[in-house]
Structure 1
């Protein structure tokens, strides 16, 4: 990959400086912890909706979805189709509930409902998974931008990390939301520019792309048979529903935004606006992947180069090594699909526009990281510092803690990203373990909000059994071949579905068997 021209670098620098200035602008309004975490409840619903959309549209979507569509089909788009139902449940039950409690943390109510253990469990899971998430976004964006710019991964992480920390710390949630509005628009414009440039390179344009892609079933949403072993339409639909319900219903990144709205109605509008923007825009990224497939099929010499690059990275050998060349011959489109988007960007996007596109990719990562930092700092301050360390903390003191916690989360996130360089197996293990514990959170929330009869003991029993089931499903690949009958037989995307249902069903069943009425725990 070639290095970026100076004009593109200047565009990227201008974008980063602009984001920092936004934080400086909003810094003057942050006089208390309430202002920092809720923005005084003055943000319009449309801005919150675009902000949530920008958080959904991460750098993984911007770069990963086209690669997945290139190497496969549109099966993963079913994830987006599940959003309306999850949004309906969230706006019907979760958003009104959070607005009525007035608690900025999504996890405070768990203590009142089930006791200290429930709140502590949820907080620990959230903070650990957020650090892993922030670190992985840092790692992913630096890996991509290294190929695009030629700069080292550590340098990219540190520069982008400093900019994110500055505007997030100074501006609080208000700066996060308004920068995400800009970032959401920039990402959408970037997607449209890429589509135009790809279509322009294909003789015959969109009709030819649709015709060629359709002949190889690129637009398939997956089989409609009730198949839960493979990635069928129903597996992705169920997976998407539970993940989106988890996002809209209990993720602090989203719950905190509900409190920044001027009213509960505006908060509900923000959720629906996110859905109606994200669904068609995510479709654009799948279409980009199909367009790239048709373009590269007409250039087999480029495909050979991408195969060799993918094989060399997989084996850790030079591109000229015989083993690399042998492996490259066996690779399919799914094996090197993540290479096509960066390659097209560097080779085919003209100077000036490339800087804009890289800024869009940066914005995709920055929106996810900044919201994660602010949400994590809020949870640390409310659920740990004010709960266990300093219960009578003043608003000014809590604001200082929020500043320090935001910086700390940003630094730890960068360190996690740097630690992930070249340690892919550790990353896989970490994400498996974080998924095990985070998977129990949604079931616990559903028990607490949707059922008033579930007791503390029943909730604890449900989470314990559910986590064990999730643990078995996630790690069953480690079971020896001679004991295959003990392995989890369904698709990996069904883990969160089965885990959540297990927690709910066990909790409800235990309550029914014991016959004890639900107990409301008050905050100690």
Structure 2
């Protein structure tokens, strides 16, 4: 399918403008601390928009409407866990990291359990970010390839290099300000698309609701306490743990707490970024449901191959190209890229910060000069950007990139949320208890992630994990916390 010239121009102008806007921050003379924290002078609304944009990726932009189109609103339950996680964050996590005066999220773990905890957590973070960036860029390339025939490797390399250039040169200021712009673009694009769908219905916008209700599209899932299937409670528990990990131990979020002028501003930005995601995710689910009603009203407009369950994620991109006026399509494609670019740029900058703070200054050159530190930040940003492109290219040909990402993120997270909660809640937890807890946690994560693959069809199939895949992070976190807590009590009694 050929993209009209006007849409192509809109898309290319947007991409060029974002890259140039990000690069413009490189003309400021900065120290390494300013490169990683923005000198603590960024406004709360921009930081909040950046937190929001980090939440939203191309996975969200394509997968949420696809999920709603295919099934129901069960996935929206994930968003319902965010307010509770945000409340815990602003009450406990933001003050903790603001008072530590370190740009690293993992310095706290070192103060509690020693250097091994900091090394373990930071390496887990770097591996998770590589998998995340690779998955996002690959999933971003899929619909573009299907709709326009663009080469998947070409899309991945162009997107990766564009983001890498401004994230590397502009530092955290470029990331936050471009995130703020891209957050506005993707919200505006999604709203515009929903309005077009609603007013394209034969009998007006109300017909969307009528058709959707008849098909039970607004169902939030079963309320049974079943953790093998995707029930309401399973998604709620999974969402709470994922969001606690985001707010409590993810460098991408902790770094934004520090960029704010004051603790009060940091709290405001955290509330803005987290709570904004709830209605926007609702917007994405509405789009998916509206698309279902639209193609029920106009069944001949949807190609037969897109009616297959495995192609649900491609329905929204197809509508963008075939159902929107020329010019508007370019804006929506830019919105999809905005969602992916904002997340990737954040990962590149935060990963470079982790490498400098947790590894280079700690073990390679303890008294590094500003010039040396800046060089390390630039080089590590470049290396992470290149590696993320390589990982994205490696995803090419994977049967399900989304499932591969879920498996990798569960393994690479390493249960570091459990380690953080153990140190934060159990004040007397020892390094030895924490280390044994981590060992047990890693074993549980490995068993839950790999046993369905390794043991499937074998004589010991009864030992494979039958719980839902999303619960891997939950069980890993709980194992580390509970084992560490019990051992702390035993060591204390002895």
The aligned residue for residue 351 of structure 2 is: 376
The answer to whether the Cα contact below 8 Å between 2:418 and 2:480 also exists between their aligned partners in 1 is yes
Match of 2:463 among 461, 486, 490: 486
Equivalenced residue count is 492
CA-CA distance at 1:499 after TM superposition: 1.6
The aligned residue for residue 398 of structure 1 is: 373
CA-CA distance at 1:425 after TM superposition: 6.9
The answer to whether the Cα contact below 8 Å between 1:246 and 1:442 also exists between their aligned partners in 2 is yes
CA-CA distance at 1:139 after TM superposition: 0.8
SS in 2 for 1:187: helix
Aligned CA distance change for structure 1 residues 434 and 76 (closer, same or farther; 3 Å): closer
The aligned residue for residue 322 of structure 2 is: 347
Aligned CA distance change for structure 1 residues 303 and 13 (closer, same or farther; 3 Å): closer
SS in 1 for 2:205: helix
CA-CA distance at 1:271 after TM superposition: 1.0
1:141-168 C-alpha deviation (Å, 9 max, x unpaired): 1112223433212222222222212211
SS in 1 for 2:460: helix
The aligned residue for residue 387 of structure 1 is: 362
1:66-112 C-alpha deviation (Å, 9 max, x unpaired): 00001010000000000011001111111110000011010122122
1:206-236 C-alpha deviation (Å, 9 max, x unpaired): 3211111111110001112222221111111
Distance 2:234 2:29 in 1: 45
The answer to whether the Cα contact below 8 Å between 1:148 and 1:342 also exists between their aligned partners in 2 is yes
Distance 2:481 2:306 in 1: 46
The aligned residue for residue 37 of structure 1 is: 36
Q: Are 2:90 and 1:115 equivalent residues in the alignment?
A: no
CA-CA distance at 1:427 after TM superposition: 8.2
CA-CA distance at 1:293 after TM superposition: 0.6
Equivalent positions of 1:151-300 (< 5 A) are: 151-300=150-299
1:428-459 C-alpha deviation (Å, 9 max, x unpaired): 55752442231411101111222211000100
The aligned residue for residue 131 of structure 2 is: 132
Aligned CA distance change for structure 1 residues 183 and 418 (closer, same or farther; 3 Å): same
Distance 2:285 2:359 in 1: 41
The aligned residue for residue 463 of structure 1 is: 438
The answer to whether the Cα contact below 8 Å between 2:65 and 2:287 also exists between their aligned partners in 1 is yes
Distance 1:485 1:148 in 2: 43
Distance 2:85 2:174 in 1: 27
SS in 2 for 1:220: coil
Q: Structure 1 stretch 267-276 or stretch 150-159: which is displaced more?
A: 150-159
SS in 2 for 1:240: helix
SS in 2 for 1:13: helix
Aligned CA distance change for structure 1 residues 356 and 296 (closer, same or farther; 3 Å): same
Aligned CA distance change for structure 1 residues 159 and 424 (closer, same or farther; 3 Å): same
SS in 1 for 2:286: helix
CA-CA distance at 1:486 after TM superposition: 1.8
The answer to whether the Cα contact below 8 Å between 2:410 and 2:472 also exists between their aligned partners in 1 is no
1:348-385 C-alpha deviation (Å, 9 max, x unpaired): 11111111111111100100000000000110111111
CA-CA distance at 1:307 after TM superposition: 4.5
Equivalent positions of 1:45-124 (< 5 A) are: 45-124=44-123
The aligned residue for residue 476 of structure 1 is: 451
Unaligned runs of 5+ in 1: 309-330, 518-524
Aligned CA distance change for structure 1 residues 74 and 439 (closer, same or farther; 3 Å): farther
Aligned CA distance change for structure 1 residues 424 and 174 (closer, same or farther; 3 Å): same
The answer to whether the Cα contact below 8 Å between 1:437 and 1:467 also exists between their aligned partners in 2 is no
1:472-521 C-alpha deviation (Å, 9 max, x unpaired): 1222313245434323232222222222111111100000011179xxxx
SS in 1 for 2:78: helix
The answer to whether the Cα contact below 8 Å between 2:414 and 2:445 also exists between their aligned partners in 1 is yes
The CA RMSD over aligned residues, in Å, is 1.8
SS in 2 for 1:208: helix
The aligned residue for residue 320 of structure 1 is: none
1:27-53 C-alpha deviation (Å, 9 max, x unpaired): 132421011001000011111111110
Distance 1:251 1:82 in 2: 17
The answer to whether the Cα contact below 8 Å between 1:136 and 1:420 also exists between their aligned partners in 2 is yes
Distance 1:17 1:490 in 2: 46
Q: Are 2:479 and 1:502 equivalent residues in the alignment?
A: yes
Aligned CA distance change for structure 1 residues 370 and 357 (closer, same or farther; 3 Å): same
Aligned CA distance change for structure 1 residues 408 and 402 (closer, same or farther; 3 Å): same
Q: Are 2:416 and 1:417 equivalent residues in the alignment?
A: no
The answer to whether the Cα contact below 8 Å between 1:252 and 1:375 also exists between their aligned partners in 2 is yes
TM value normalised by structure 1: 0.90
The aligned residue for residue 492 of structure 2 is: 515
Q: Structure 1 stretch 199-208 or stretch 62-71: which is displaced more?
A: 199-208
1:104-148 C-alpha deviation (Å, 9 max, x unpaired): 010122122111211111111111111111111111111122234
Distance 1:161 1:479 in 2: 37
CA-CA distance at 1:23 after TM superposition: 2.2
Unaligned runs of 5+ in 2: none
TM value normalised by structure 2: 0.96
